[in-house]
Chains A and B, each alone.
Chain A
Amino acid sequence: MEIKESYDLPLPIETVWQALNDEGFLKNSIPGCEKLERISPNELSAEVKLKIGPMSTRFKGKVNLSDLNPPNGYTISGSGTGGIAGAASGSAKVFLSKMEDGEGTILSYQVKAEVKGKIAQLGSRLIHSTAKKLAKKFFSNFVQELSK
């Protein structure tokens, strides 16, 4: 399953790239993120509370930044376990490019997601919708944070 989307930002590409590498920005953008700490230059530990309808599970895991190509993009991937509920993982390829006017930036992304365990059994019909929603939420939060 893949989700693609793109946003136009009225900001220079360097600013957007910096924010993509700032844990403060990322923490405020990841839906339900309660904790995000950098443990190495490209690795962060995370605690995320995911609420889908009646389910409410806390996932603990890691966020990795890879394929770094400043300031044109990277891959952000995360995986975590929610105890008995199962495990979830996902990654987003993020691309930045300059707009034709030279001032703005186009941010586009491709997301892949996977869940395992009980949460997958119960929620199989909802995974695509949920992943799409969370990805949208992440990038709309991110854009909002940037515009502050």
Chain B
Amino acid sequence: MYSTKIVKAENSSAAVQAIGSSKEGKILAGGMTLIPTLKQRLANPDCLIDISSCGLEGVEDKGSSVRIGAMTKHAAVAESSSVAKAIPALADLAGGIGDRQVRNRGTLGGSVANNDPAACYPSAVMALDGTVHTNKRDISADDFFKGMFETALEEDEVIESVSFKKPEKACYMKFPNPASRYAMVGVFVAKFSDGVRVAVTGAGEEGVFRHSDLESALSSNFSEEAVSGVEVSSDGLMSDIHASADYRANLIGEMTKRAVSS
């Protein structure tokens, strides 16, 4: 690794200030993507801003939603009794990310801010009608994800926490890549009193997306048969050495069925 400066911020406004005074500063959350990137020398920021001491950890039950601090580790979400009680599907999702090492370092905020097209968390934020709370504003999930690795976050913006609405029921099903455990296809289905939300990760060329056909089919009939009646198109899906776009389209239907019937 090249030498770089590291600044420990005490709160999010100090972190934002540190970014402002650097040339190409980067926020360091859990570092599960950023550190390997630096080791490979594929990025060369002049300054890393460590936000682990900004007090952004913890789970809070807000009644109709659950609010989780941006620096909360995947393992902490997986083991949280309040998450398990309010949205067990979210605890399950967190418990299935990467491996034990990643779950003990990686954070909710880091995953959401990076918006990797195969990451698990963005699908939960999208399906659970989440809100991303930053130091400046609240951004709804539908406005937050802007395509592969892109979000609505501005340069001087730090995620402080994310809220997830409590569904009547929900389930996340992923077909993991056996090596990385990233989602080859992951489908998060959440049933609310006013309809069903279905978010797909790992498959779209532009990252996480909501599948409106599956949503409307499941909103009128929450069953496997309803899913069978939807033809999932492979348009705009990723094709790579792991799976073709057609295979991914098939997996979307299959994972949705499993999520609905579980």
With a CB–CB cut-off of 8 A, which chain A residues contact B206? 129
Contact for B238 among A54, A122, A125, CB less than 8 A: A125
What separation, in Å, do the CA atoms of A111 and B53 have in the docked complex? 47
> Which segment, of B55-63, B81-89, B113-121, B123-131, faces chain A?
B113-121
Chain B: residues with Cβ within 8 Å of the partner, total of 25
What separation, in Å, do the CA atoms of A130 and B148 have in the docked complex? 9
Query: B242 touching A54 by the CB < 8 A rule?
Result: no
Contact digits for B43-80, partner A, Cβ 8 Å, 1 yes 0 no: 11100000000000000000000000000000000000
With a CB–CB cut-off of 8 A, which chain A residues contact B117? 126, 129
Contact digits for A26-66, partner B, Cβ 8 Å, 1 yes 0 no: 00000000000000000000000000111111000000000
Query: B42 touching A119 by the CB < 8 A rule?
Result: yes
Query: A128 touching B238 by the CB < 8 A rule?
Result: yes
> Which segment, of B10-18, B33-41, B98-106, B159-167, faces chain A?
B33-41
Query: A128 touching B42 by the CB < 8 A rule?
Result: no
Any A CB within 8 A of the CB of B240 = yes
Query: B37 touching A54 by the CB < 8 A rule?
Result: yes
Query: B205 touching A132 by the CB < 8 A rule?
Result: yes
What separation, in Å, do the CA atoms of A131 and B42 have in the docked complex? 18
With a CB–CB cut-off of 8 A, which chain B residues contact A55? 37, 42-43
Shortest beta-carbon distance from A118 to chain B in Å: 6
Query: B43 touching A56 by the CB < 8 A rule?
Result: yes
Any A CB within 8 A of the CB of B24 = yes
Query: B241 touching A122 by the CB < 8 A rule?
Result: no
Contact for A54 among B24, B42, B205, B241, CB less than 8 A: B42
Any B CB within 8 A of the CB of A99 = no
Main secondary structure of the interface of A (DSSP, over half): helix
A95-132, CB < 8 A from B:
118-119, 122, 124-126, 128-130, 132
Q: A85-B41, A119-B42, A125-B242 are in contact. Are A54 and B148 (CB under 8 A)?
A: no
Any A CB within 8 A of the CB of B239 = yes
Query: A125 touching B149 by the CB < 8 A rule?
Result: no
Query: B148 touching A129 by the CB < 8 A rule?
Result: yes
Any B CB within 8 A of the CB of A4 = no
Query: B205 touching A53 by the CB < 8 A rule?
Result: no
Query: B33 touching A84 by the CB < 8 A rule?
Result: no
What separation, in Å, do the CA atoms of A93 and B131 have in the docked complex? 43
Contact for B33 among A54, A118, A133, CB less than 8 A: A54
Q: A53-B114, A56-B24 are in contact. Are A128 and B41 (CB under 8 A)?
A: no
Which 5 pairs, one residue from A and one from B, show the smallest C-beta to C-beta distance?
Answer: A53-B149, A54-B37, A55-B42, A129-B205, A125-B240
- Report 14 cross-chain contacts, Cβ distance below 8 Å, ordered by A residue: A53-B114, A53-B116, A53-B149, A54-B33, A54-B37, A54-B114, A55-B42, A56-B24, A56-B43, A84-B41, A118-B41, A122-B37, A124-B240, A132-B205
Task: List 8 extra interface pairs beyond A53-B115, A118-B42, CB under 8 A.
Answer: A53-B149, A84-B41, A85-B40, A119-B42, A128-B238, A129-B238, A130-B148, A133-B147
